[in-house]
Structure 1
């Protein structure tokens, strides 16, 4: 119950319920704790009669303390004498104080009341929860550059997460290190071999598998700014305005270099021109190609990362060398990544005895978004159960197992469609990694 109050400190009903239990248990320490909880409730609701009543009971129990010394006898009417007068203690404390409170014994007595949050062996690299950000903390620093056209929603951020906060996906991290991070960390070797600080990468894979999170982690690992804008901030109904918005976005990234420019849903912004009947969209793709080439301005220090669920719909010109010349497959999370995702989404909830290894093993094929939904369903079920019983309780393994049974992997439909494209489409080696995964997962 204490853990539930810590998780939801503004829930007055939980604090009142816990205070009542503490008062019923008795004892100076428990009563003092109850007074603290009731004071918090009265700060939120000064007129709460139940809180006032419990506060009176708690304060009455705290004030009433056993007297360890005899009362002072009344001196005779003739006046006190040195032989008959009992000295009064100056500080009203017993001469021989009682034994101190045994915290170790109390901890042992309460060990079976509330279990630990997580059980099972610790997994290296994901404890404490990697990538978890306390919602009470302020958002990441956001600043705008001077002299550039300010888009409506685009924001320049300094991500605090790094690749160490991404659970699993070691193969993806190795490729990122070779493509971006190693040259950045070794400027002398970069100059020796003529490696420029420009280029792009196309992230593709099933939806909900962390492509955006991975792009932010890359920016944090590089110590670079992170800039993104959605389709609604780029595309306009007026002729030429979409191209101007796109140019402003790239100009902002150039002024903030080193900067990671993230373009989500690139298949909508850079669709194949051969399949488009709209001259406006063809012009947008042409403008995007021009900005990537840096015809009028250099793109030194600007790293372009694009993400899509449909890489086969992206215009081939965007994947030529110097543009999005690296293609990286982001697959559903592996076992270690699933444990990290579960830990992140459960760390701020009132839980006990959660076996992450067992949960991860039972969640094969789920995306990161699916796992987050499992945690949401489990919390909803516990809330309804608490309302029916009238007593709040912690989330247990049985709740998560029941929620997991209700969630089907959202990646299955994408993998089936990808199999058809890889099997019957033009095979130029771009999707060789995807083909290997489909064969390994027996979907080929």
Structure 2
């Protein structure tokens, strides 16, 4: 059986290999526990640095099975061993009990790496974006809600939906809204939920996440930044990441469990970096472009972010017109900056006042839309990498806004 004190001392010696009194005390504990060969290894290290140390020599004799002294060697008077034991007993994490020193696998819902929740968000809570909502309804929600019509038309529920567009435009919020419309549970997964340093553990984590979604069906499984999980394998130099990509393909095909009732949504800022195998029919075969919010959506977003703040005389229509190409995150930052201007003026003048239009306009002079770099990259993709028409919707948007 493992001895917690010895395990803690082993970790302490590993952290401080040059602490010879600590190493001798560990050897003494090992000898007392009948683990002489382990004590020999530690005492050999100590003797290599202090060959003539009498206490170490006596402990080595005991560890090798020689005659014990009448009494154990007295500890050095300048070392408080009880203080050492008390210090390390509760602070050093326990070592894994398994012989291969690997963590235990995730088992069941009580030991999962992701949270499974019920979404209270509906598409009606998403401001504007009428084209996106219509596309979601036609491609994803309508077939799921109308079982009889789906059966009559032979419409399959296999496959998933890929949301793509500039960062900060509400892809995650839309995924939650889809789950809310369906009354399904919602699971959000990113690369950090899957990756693990142990060989094969990342693939096991991904499998366990899909299994948790299957057990909780109907469930929307949302793969955030899917280009990180399913990057183009032809561009990968890491064999472990290629293996993880293969595992994702197998899970989406339902090879290791039925995916009935599991609806896969994915989001990315860079669909051109997603492995083509992930976008073939039966996987992420439907795409929806989530563009920067239109004027109606911008006004709704601004209203939400100003709702709980003290405001006076704010012209939402004027602000919405002045914030073309702003993402939802940019609009939130705009409101935050305006609040800072108003608060700073209140502090310096000594008169507390509301957030006014002048504060919003001052913030507009400071905050710039963050979607510019993405739109420039998207323009290059639409011009030179759209041979198969995968980005026709993107090209249409860019032409409409005179960016192509």
TM-score by length of 1: 0.66
Equivalence for 1:296: 256
Q: Does 1:150 align with 2:94?
A: no
Q: Does 1:397 align with 2:371?
A: no
Equivalence for 1:369: 329
5+ residue gaps, structure 2, are 1-105
Equivalence for 1:229: 189
Equivalence for 1:162: 122
2:386, 2:392 within 8 Å by CA — same for their partners in 1?
no
TM-score by length of 2: 0.72
After superposition, the Cα gap between the structure-2 partners of 1:426 and 1:436, relative to the gap in structure 1 and judged at 3 Å, is closer
Across the two proteins, how many residue pairs are aligned to each other? 299
1:198, 1:302 within 8 Å by CA — same for their partners in 2?
no
1:343-358 equivalent positions in 2, closer than 5 A: 343-358=303-318
Q: Distance in 2 between matches of 1:149 and 1:199?
A: 29
Question: Of the two structures, which has the highest relative contact order with CA contacts closer than 8 Å and spacing of 6 or more?
Answer: 1
Structure with the higher helix share, 1 or 2: 2
Residue 202 of structure 1 is aligned with which of 162, 167, 171? Answer: 162
Equivalence for 2:267: 307
Q: Distance in 1 between matches of 2:214 and 2:156?
A: 15
1:208-357 equivalent positions in 2, closer than 5 A: 208-357=168-317
Q: Distance in 2 between matches of 1:426 and 1:343?
A: 37
After superposition, the Cα gap between the structure-2 partners of 1:427 and 1:149, relative to the gap in structure 1 and judged at 3 Å, is farther
Instruction: Give the Å deviation of 1:230.
Output: 2.3
5+ residue gaps, structure 1, are 1-144
Q: Deviations over 1:47-93 (max 9, x none)?
A: xxxxxxxxxxxxxxxxxxxxxxxxxxxxxxxxxxxxxxxxxxxxxxx
Instruction: Give the Å deviation of 1:150.
Output: 2.9
Q: Deviations over 1:366-417 (max 9, x none)?
A: 1101000000000111111111111211001111111012111111111001
Q: Distance in 2 between matches of 1:292 and 1:251?
A: 11
Q: Distance in 1 between matches of 2:348 and 2:380?
A: 49
Q: Distance in 1 between matches of 2:188 and 2:359?
A: 38
Q: Distance in 2 between matches of 1:315 and 1:184?
A: 27
Instruction: Give the Å deviation of 1:426.
Output: 4.8
4+ residue stretches of structure 1 with deviation over 6 A? none
Instruction: Give the Å deviation of 1:264.
Output: 0.7
Q: Distance in 1 between matches of 2:391 and 2:168?
A: 20
Equivalence for 1:411: 371
Q: Distance in 1 between matches of 2:385 and 2:401?
A: 20
Q: Secondary structure at the match of 1:228?
A: strand
* Two-structure CA RMSD over aligned residues (Å): 1.5
Tell me which moved more, 174-183 or 269-278.
Answer: 174-183
Residue 423 of structure 1 is aligned with which of 373, 380, 383? Answer: 383
1:211, 1:307 within 8 Å by CA — same for their partners in 2?
yes
